[in-house]
Amino acid sequence: MSFARWLAATLLIQYGFAKLNGSQFTVLDSELSKPLGQVSGFWLTWYYFGYSKVYGNLIALMQIGGAILLVLPRTSLFGALLLLPIVFNIILIDILFGVEPGATIVAVVILTCLLAIVLPHVRKLWNAVRLEGRQKRSSSLIQYAALGVILVGGWTFTWWIANYNNRLPTPIDGAWSVVSEGDSQRPWTNVFFERNRAFMAVFRSSDGRYDQRHFEIDSNGLIQVWETWLSKGDLLMQGRILADGQIELVAEPSAGRILLRRRN
């Protein structure tokens, strides 16, 4: 038991100070220059946790504070309970986001040490969190029924949001490259008809600007683009899908022409 406490504490203190001193959660400039779709799970995770210095430092302080609690016999159980969800979450991230195996092995070692501290006290912990008393059978059935309604309702509502609110599939959903602009005043490079945001079209210019627009396509294939997502505003352009699969949009009122080709 003593060995498990000191081993876990030593490893956690190392990881905690690594975050405070900047040897964890730092991202390479070369990774920051990549499009998001090309970033690996490891660097995506590193960037996410390092985006907020305060958040990273809080994790570090919890690791160090928990480690200090571990080495003191009277507070070791409290420290282990505090650290268990943190370490378990680290293992999940390491495995599912492709963090290097060495870090995963260390996290598993720490988790094993924490479990060695907690397991002898499982019965006491269960008795401490379980409320005493018996419920009437009729009351229990009502509660189970209410829980079932909440579960079914939650699933149904969020499924509707995902498929009928966030998404309203159209044949032009996806990423398109601007292959010709005619007399258009703005040098667009890409247009994104968003699959996961109904009616949203995002126009990317060569200077890196992203403008959100509102688009609709009717049953006859007429595509219209308005100034503001959802509230529409002024009609900016309209057009249709050509026979070769490209999209032609004509800007209003300047009659500038934009030709789009679907990206793979």
For residue 183, what pLDDT is reported?
A: 53
* Window from 26-30, 193-197, 215-219 with minimum mean pLDDT: 26-30
Angle formed at CA 48 by CA 46 and CA 49, multiple of 5 degrees? 70
On whether both 114 and 186 belong to a single domain, the answer is no
CA atoms within 13 A on the CB side of 74: 0
Q: How many domains does the chain have?
A: 3
On whether both 83 and 186 belong to a single domain, the answer is no
On whether both 154 and 219 belong to a single domain, the answer is no
- For the whole model, what pTM was predicted? 0.71
On whether both 35 and 146 belong to a single domain, the answer is no
- Asked if 12 and 110 touch (Cβ cutoff 8 Å), the reply is yes
On whether both 15 and 119 belong to a single domain, the answer is yes
On whether both 144 and 125 belong to a single domain, the answer is no
On whether both 13 and 78 belong to a single domain, the answer is yes
Q: Which residues span the domain enclosing 113?
A: 2-129
Among 251, 125, 122, CA closest to 188: 251
Q: pLDDT-based confidence at 127, cuts 50/70/90?
A: confident
Residues 6+ apart with CB under 8 A from 83: 8, 12, 62, 63, 66, 67, 70, 110, 114
For residue 31, what pLDDT is reported?
A: 85
On whether both 113 and 156 belong to a single domain, the answer is no
On whether both 87 and 123 belong to a single domain, the answer is yes
Residues 6+ apart with CB under 8 A from 223: 172, 215, 216, 217, 238, 239, 240, 241, 247, 249
For residue 22, what pLDDT is reported?
A: 85
For residue 161, what pLDDT is reported?
A: 85
Read off the CATH number of the domain in which 199 is found. Answer: 2.40.128
Q: Which two tokens stand for residue 186?
A: 């703005």
The percent of residues in the chain predicted with pLDDT above 90, rounded, is 57
- Over range 121-128, report the average pLDDT: 89
pLDDT above 90: residue 223: yes
For residue 185, what pLDDT is reported?
A: 57
Mean of per-residue pLDDT scores for the chain: 89
Among 19, 2, 15, 43, CA closest to 106: 15
For residue 113, what pLDDT is reported?
A: 95
Query: How many residues are there in the chain?
Result: 264
Element (H, E) at 203: strand 200-205
CA distance 61 to 70: 14
For residue 181, what pLDDT is reported?
A: 65
Q: What is the dihedral of CA 165, 169, 174, 177, to 10 degrees?
A: -110
